[in-house]
Chains A and B, each alone.
Chain A
Amino acid sequence: MTTRYTTDHEYIRAEGKIGTVGISSYAQEQLGDIVFVELPAVGATFKKGDEAAVVESVKAASEIYAPVSGTVTEVNDALSDEPGLINTDPAAGGWIFKIEIADEAELEGLMDDAAYADHTA
Chain B
Amino acid sequence: MADGPQTDLLKTALYDRHVAHGGRIVEFGGYALPVQYKGIVAEHAHTRDAASLFDVSHMGQVVVTGPDHATTIAALEALTPADLASLAPGDMRYTVLLNADGGIEDDLIITRPAEGQEPDGVMYMVVNAARKHHDLDLMRTHGAADITYDLRDDLALIALQGPQAAEVLSRHTDIIGKLGFMQAGPATIAGVAVNVSRSGYTGEDGFELSVANTDAPKIFDLLAADDRVEPAGLGARDSLRLEAGLCLYGHDMNDAIDPVTAGLIFAIGKRRRTEGGFAGADTVLSRIAKGPDDKRVGIRFEGRQPVREGAELVDANGNVIGRITSGTFAPTAQASIAMGYVPADIASEGEAVTAMVRGKPIAGTIAKMPFVQQRYYRKPA
A interface residues, Cβ below 8 angstroms from B: 9, 27, 30, 32-33, 35-36, 38, 54, 56-61, 80, 83
Q: Which residues from A are CB-within-8-Å of B238?
A: 59
Within 8 Å of chain A (Cβ to Cβ): is B253? no
Interface of A is mostly: mixed
Within 8 Å of chain A (Cβ to Cβ): is B328? yes
A30 pairs with B1, CB closer than 8 A: yes
A59 pairs with B40, CB closer than 8 A: yes
Within 8 Å of chain A (Cβ to Cβ): is B241? no
Q: Which residues from B are CB-within-8-Å of A83?
A: 304
Q: How far is the CB of A94 from chain B (nearest CB, A)?
A: 16
Q: How far is the CB of A115 from chain B (nearest CB, A)?
A: 17
A33 pairs with B39, CB closer than 8 A: yes
B1 pairs with A38, CB closer than 8 A: no
Known: A27-B1, A38-B305. 13 other contacts (CB 8 A): A30-B1, A32-B39, A32-B235, A35-B306, A35-B328, A36-B304, A38-B358, A54-B358, A56-B305, A58-B44, A58-B235, A59-B238, A61-B308
Q: How far is the CB of A28 from chain B (nearest CB, A)?
A: 11
Residues 328-342 of B, flagged 1 when their CB comes within 8 A of A and 0 if not, give: 110100001000000
Chain A residue, CB-CB nearest to B360 = A38
Within 8 Å of chain A (Cβ to Cβ): is B265? no
Interface size class of B (residues with CB under 8 A): 20 to 34
Chain B residue, CB-CB nearest to A7 = B1
Q: Which residues from B are CB-within-8-Å of A60?
A: 308
Report how far A73 CA is from B276 CA in the complex, Å: 66
B interface residues, Cβ below 8 angstroms from A: 1-2, 35-36, 39-42, 44, 235, 238-239, 304-306, 308, 328-329, 331, 336, 358
A36 pairs with B329, CB closer than 8 A: yes
B39 pairs with A36, CB closer than 8 A: no
Pairs across A and B, CB under 8 Å, 15 listed: A32-B39, A32-B235, A35-B41, A35-B329, A36-B305, A36-B306, A36-B329, A56-B306, A57-B40, A58-B41, A58-B235, A58-B328, A59-B35, A59-B238, A61-B308
- Give the tally of cross-chain contacts (CB within 8 A): 49
B40 pairs with A58, CB closer than 8 A: yes
Report how far A59 CA is from B238 CA in the complex, Å: 9
Report how far A14 CA is from B308 CA in the complex, Å: 35
Q: Which residues from A are CB-within-8-Å of B329?
A: 35-36, 56, 58
Chain B residue, CB-CB nearest to A63 = B358
Chain B residue, CB-CB nearest to A27 = B1
B306 pairs with A61, CB closer than 8 A: yes
B304 pairs with A32, CB closer than 8 A: no
B40 pairs with A33, CB closer than 8 A: yes
Chain A residue, CB-CB nearest to B26 = A59
Q: How far is the CB of A92 from chain B (nearest CB, A)?
A: 20
Report how far A58 CA is from B241 CA in the complex, Å: 13
Report how far A37 CA is from B329 CA in the complex, Å: 12
Report how far A27 CA is from B331 CA in the complex, Å: 21
Report how far A58 CA is from B326 CA in the complex, Å: 12
Given A33-B41, A36-B306, CB of A59 within 8 Å of CB of B235: yes
Q: Which residues from B are CB-within-8-Å of A54?
A: 358
Q: Which residues from A are CB-within-8-Å of B328?
A: 35, 58-59
Q: Which residues from B are CB-within-8-Å of A38?
A: 305, 358
B40 pairs with A32, CB closer than 8 A: yes
